[in-house]
């Protein structure tokens, strides 16, 4: 018998719906407060079925984190890959990552902050994060390489170092904005990141 048709197991196409619902609950209540019953109430999938699929609440939350950060990466890559100008790709990376859209920014940074926190305790997540971090940096490094090649950028060091500096810059400013540092609003953070990225890349 097909495993997807076993009694008590949600249909295969429900998994994405379940993960999205769990993410929505987590953003509203905090990842530590996500329960099977909350997700069941949103999706209509019985608690017993959720337990069958994920095994435990913690396993479900880990999968939500994995799926969430990979989805964010895929969406950002799609936007950046459509832009031919290297500097504009850097600007887009900054603007989409920090974001002046309060709802999108909150959902994105809560996801990332929780992923980092979970990775400190979970070796499997930590190992996966190394791969994901490389993918994030590659978005920026591709733009840096193209800019150097085309003469738009004049960097002092290597393109991997420049890319890592820009990613670290965005991470630091994004967290400051999201935790509510009074002097660091989203618009100001984006302007500061653009200015610092120009210095790193040697853009006039």
Within-domain flag for 86: yes
Mean pLDDT of 187-193: 93
40 and 72 in a single domain? The answer is no
Decide if pLDDT at 173 tops 80: yes
Name the least confident of 83-92, 118-127, 177-186.
177-186
pLDDT at 172: 92
24 and 97 in a single domain? The answer is no
Query: For the chain, what's the residue count?
Result: 204
136 and 172 in a single domain? The answer is yes
Mean pLDDT of 80-106: 91
Q: What is the pTM (predicted TM-score) of this model? A: 0.81
70 and 51 in a single domain? The answer is no
76 and 42 in a single domain? The answer is no
Within-domain flag for 40: yes
91 and 3 in a single domain? The answer is no
Within-domain flag for 137: yes
22 and 80 in a single domain? The answer is no
How far are the Cα atoms of 1, 88, 96, 120, 160 from residue 91, in angstroms, in the given order? Answer: 52, 5, 8, 30, 18
pLDDT in tens, 89-100: 999 999 999 988
**Structural domain boundaries enclosing 145:** 66-201
Contact 42, 24 (CB under 8 A): yes
79 contacts: CB under 8 Å, gap ≥ 6: 92, 96
Mean pLDDT of 15-29: 82
Decide if pLDDT at 195 tops 90: yes
pLDDT at 182: 66
Within-domain flag for 61: no
pLDDT in tens, 130-158: 888 999 999 999 999 999 999 999 999 99
**φ, ψ of residue 184 in degrees (nearest 5):** -115, 85
CATH of the domain at 163: 1.10.357.10
Structural domain count, the chain: 2
pLDDT at 150: 95
CATH of the domain at 47: 1.10.10
Within-domain flag for 50: yes
């Amino acid at each position: 018998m097909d495993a997807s048709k076993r009694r008590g197991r949600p249909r295969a196409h429900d998994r994405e719906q379940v993960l999205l619902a769990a993410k929505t609950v987590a953003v509203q209540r905090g990842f530590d407060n996500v329960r099977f019953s909350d997700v069941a109430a949103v999706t209509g999938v019985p608690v017993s079925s959720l337990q069958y699929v994920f095994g435990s609440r913690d396993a479900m939350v880990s999968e939500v984190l994995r799926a969430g950060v990979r989805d964010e990466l895929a969406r950002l890559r799609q936007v950046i890959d459509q832009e031919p100008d290297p500097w504009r790709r850097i600007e887009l990376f900054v603007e989409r990552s920090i974001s002046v859209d309060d709802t999108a920014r909150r959902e994105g940074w809560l996801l990332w902050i929780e992923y980092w926190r979970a990775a400190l305790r979970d070796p499997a997540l930590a190992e996966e994060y190394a791969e994901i971090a490389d993918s994030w940096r590659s978005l920026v490094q591709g733009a840096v390489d193209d800019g150097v090649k085309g003469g738009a950028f004049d960097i002092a060091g290597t393109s991997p170092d420049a890319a890592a500096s820009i990613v670290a810059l965005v991470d630091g400013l994004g967290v400051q904005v999201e935790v509510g540092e009074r002097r660091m609003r989203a618009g100001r953070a984006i302007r500061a990141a653009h200015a610092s990225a120009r210095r790193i890349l040697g853009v006039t």
